[in-house]
Each structure stands twice: as structure tokens, then as C-alpha cells.
Amino acid sequence: MIRHARVLPVLVLAPLLLTACGSEKAGDSGPSASASAAGPAAAPGTREVASRARAMGVAPELVYVTEAPGFTLAQQSVGVLGDDGFSATWVDGETNALLRLAVDRGTITADTCPEQPVGDMSGEHTTCERDGDAWYRTGAGRHEYALSEEGHVVRVSAEKDAVPRDVLHAAALAAHRPDDAETDRLLPSADPAPASPVERGDLPRYGDGAPDNHVDVGG
């Protein structure tokens, strides 16, 4: 009896241990799995956008990118809007039509919409029409879609005769904060390569090229 009493716990524990190990592996509920599931992944491009945007004087949260069929980013158009806003322009390769994205601080409501000019054309009459979550605005031969975000407004505008309304609307809905790959195409590097030294051809190979003030005998 003593011998059976010593062996019995081992026989009972063995299947329990095997069951426990098997269930843990199947459910993958170990510490590493719990750690990987806890907490969302960081937003794509956050660090890269922040460093590049600040280097050019733009608030990182105001950097957006968009897309439209046939339109390509005009790299030289990317810049600061106002104090720390952002703007960029896309060009249609066939028609040369321009599609401008502008993001700046502020709000837009039914009361303030008519007071805000389209495309920075002050003094012009502006009409406003609600279209889903956005405002469709026209004035001074241009039209625009404006979307209110938290503390800022995203605007996509173009000449009314150059870009159809449906293309403008689609580009406005496609506006979003860029990921790393989009940031690399959109914003200049925060650490530009140092300029190469300029070679001067008017300096001698030896010495510093200072004037010779030596006075000859009798001079």
C-alpha cells in the first residue's frame, strides 16, 4: 500500500500536466502573447512626419496627403500655410489642372462658411452647400470641399472649369495623414545632405592668396 500510495500521484498528475501544456499551446495564452495583444500599434509614420514637418515649420498634425486619378504631386508646391499650416498641390499631367490641398487651424460652420473665401480669394462671394460631413463651397471661379477635423479644417480646391466636382469630392474624402512611404514622397528630409565645398579657381595652390605688399629697394 505504501508503494501504491507513492506511485499514484505521479500517474494522476501526468495527464493533467499534459492537458495543461496542450491547452496553453493551443490557446497561445503565454506572457508573450498577452504582451503583444496589449496596446494598439503606433500610428504609421508618426515619428517621421513629426521630424520632417517641424523642420519646415509645419505642425505635424496638420500634414495630410491625398490622391486623385491622373494627378501627381508638385514637390515644389509643398510648404507652410499661415503660421504652421500645410499646403501642397497636385497636377494633372494631361490637362495641367491643379488640385490644391490646404490644412490650417480653425473651424467651419453654417454661420462662418460664407465668410471664408474659397482658395484664399478675399472679397469674393462664397456659397456653401452641405454634402455629407463636408461643405461644398464655390466662389471666384473656384470650388472647394472643406472638412472640419479636431481643431483644424482640411480643404481641397480647384478651378471650377478644370476639375469636376466628383473628382474634387473624391480627393477630399481621400485626404489622410501620411504613412512613412507617403511622408518620404511628400516632405523633404529633416536632415538634408551637407552642401559640397565650392572650389575656387582664383586661389593659388600654395599660401592663402593674400596681396603681396613687399616693397622693392627704393620703392
* Integer angstrom CA distances of residue 35 from 22, 25, 27, 32, 38: 20, 16, 14, 5, 5
For residue range 26-61, list pLDDT tens digits in order. 444 343 333 333 332 334 457 888 999 999 999 999
**Whether pLDDT at 4 is above 80:** no
Question: What does the block give as the cell for 112?
Answer: 462662418
The single-letter code of the amino acid at 67 is E
Among 56-60, 67-71, 73-77, 192-196, whose mean pLDDT is lowest? 192-196
**Three-class DSSP labels, 96-107:** CCEEEEEEEECC
* Integer angstrom CA distances of residue 155 from 76, 182, 210: 19, 19, 59
The Cα–Cα gap between 68 and 79 comes to: 20
Q: What is the pLDDT of residue 46?
A: 76
Mean pLDDT of the chain: 78
Show the beta-strand stretches assigned E in 7-133.
Answer: 71-81, 85-92, 98-105, 127-131
**Whether pLDDT at 16 is above 60:** no
Across the range 77-82, mean pLDDT stands at 95
Q: What is the pLDDT of residue 151?
A: 94
**What are the residues whose beta carbons fall under 8 Å from the beta carbon of 84, sequence distance 6 or more?**
57, 58, 59, 62, 105
The pTM of the full predicted model, rounded to 2 decimals, is 0.67
Q: What is the pLDDT of residue 104?
A: 96
Look at the block and give the residue holding cell 509645419.
Answer: 58
Q: What is the pLDDT of residue 48?
A: 83
Which residues in 88-97 are b (16+ Cβ under 10 Å) and which e? bbbbbeeeeb
Q: Which uninterrupted H or E stretch holds 137?
A: strand 134-139
Across the range 158-173, mean pLDDT stands at 97
For residue range 134-157, list pLDDT tens digits in order. 999 999 899 999 999 999 999 999
Say which residue, 203 or 49, is predicted with more confidence.
49
- Count CB-CB contacts under 10 A for residue 104: 17
Across the range 158-164, mean pLDDT stands at 97
**What are the residues whose beta carbons fall under 8 Å from the beta carbon of 4, sequence distance 6 or more?**
none
Say which residue, 197 or 137, is predicted with more confidence.
137
Q: What is the pLDDT of residue 63?
A: 96
Question: What does the block give as the cell for 120?
Answer: 484664399
The proportion of the chain whose per-residue pLDDT surpasses 70, expressed as a percent, equals 64
Q: What is the pLDDT of residue 20?
A: 40
The Cα–Cα gap between 48 and 32 comes to: 28
